[in-house]
Amino acid sequence: MATTAPLHVAVVGAGSWGTALAALASRGAPTLLWARDATLVKQLSADGRNPRYLPDIALPADLGYTSDLDHVVGHVCAAPQGLLILGVPVAGLGAACAALADRLGRAGRPDLPLVYTCKGFDAQSGALPHQIAAQALADHPGALTGVLSGPSFAREVAQGLPVALTIASAHDSVHRLATRALHGDRSRVYSSTDVIGVETGGAVKNIMAIACGVADALGLGHNARAALITRGLAEITRLGIALGARTETFAGLTGLGDLVLTATGDLSRNRRVGLALGSGRSLAEIQAEMSQVAEGVRCAPAVLALAGRHGVDMPITEAVCAVLFHGMAPAAAVEALLAREPRTEAPPARAAPPG
């Protein structure tokens, strides 16, 4: 009878999502959670809770903690199979990939998968996460990467509530190991090869969630929310196709699923930003009170610029940027959207396959 080789998992980044994924993975494999702050590691080890992000949730007793990246790499390389999950923001992805790939190369495991979870575009260049990772890994041709995304609030995952996720990669081994690490009784993991589509859906839905929060704060009703979600999905799909994604991806977990969750769920940071904006608060005031980044704010200008370069019409994104950065009143932005000329609702054309 065939046996499965042991698997070790490490999660780099002890924010709410990294902590939740480490808790999930530890139910099936020896798992180590890395935090930059050694003081936080001591608190995690002593209390079995993340005092900064999930203070009221007890983490699995066998989950390990460290602030040493060499310890992380030693842990995943100590088993025949290993998986590194990068729970870092877009701004830190390149540095994390390079630091880990360098250590994996020295350990003789350059093809150990690096799976990142960040959602967004680079604020300056507009690059997607896989492009950021590719640039950082240019000197490590054996590196294998993938993106984990889908409708998921970290708190619910840490609580052990049901969740469905998508792992997107060009490499079968990344699909296999990520699925093995995270698929279980209450978590389902689906595979995709459409990295661009999964990343685009995961990033742009945050902007649409801000718009829905604004509309809800203004008391525009469920009809308006449904319209924003539907037309928001059309914007996401148009941009994704222009970038080379597949149409069908946006009807799945990382398109419609993630958009609905983020636009309607009370745990959504981006929705909360929209609610506060619609209530008359300034962006500076809102951000000063937030302990975590709302990625929709960070990547909205990059998305709008990217849409302009590709000739993609994104009126909701444009309205959100006007409110966030150009002083437009939320009610005026809504009026501008409603005043647009009528048009035919037609599905975007399917992207041509690469030549």
Residues designated as active site = 205
CB crowding 116-143: b at 16 or more within 10 Å, else e: bbbbbbbeeebbbbbbbbeebbeebeeb
Contacts of 256 (CB under 8 A, 6+ apart): 233, 250
Contact 229, 316 (CB under 8 A): no
Q: What are the percentages of helix, strand and coil residues in the chain, rounded to 5?
A: 50, 10, 35
For the chain, the C-alpha Rg in angstroms (whole number) is 20
Cβ of 1: how many Cβ atoms within 10 Å? 2
- The H-or-E segment that residue 173 falls in is helix 172-182
Strands (E), the chain: 7-12, 31-34, 64-66, 81-86, 114-116, 145-149, 163-168, 187-192
Number of H helices and E strands in the chain, helices first, is 15, 8
Q: How far apart are the first and last CA of the chain?
A: 43
Q: Identify the DSSP state of 246.
A: -
Contacts of 282 (CB under 8 A, 6+ apart): none
Rounded to 5 degrees, what angle do the CA atoms 342, 347, 349 make? 120
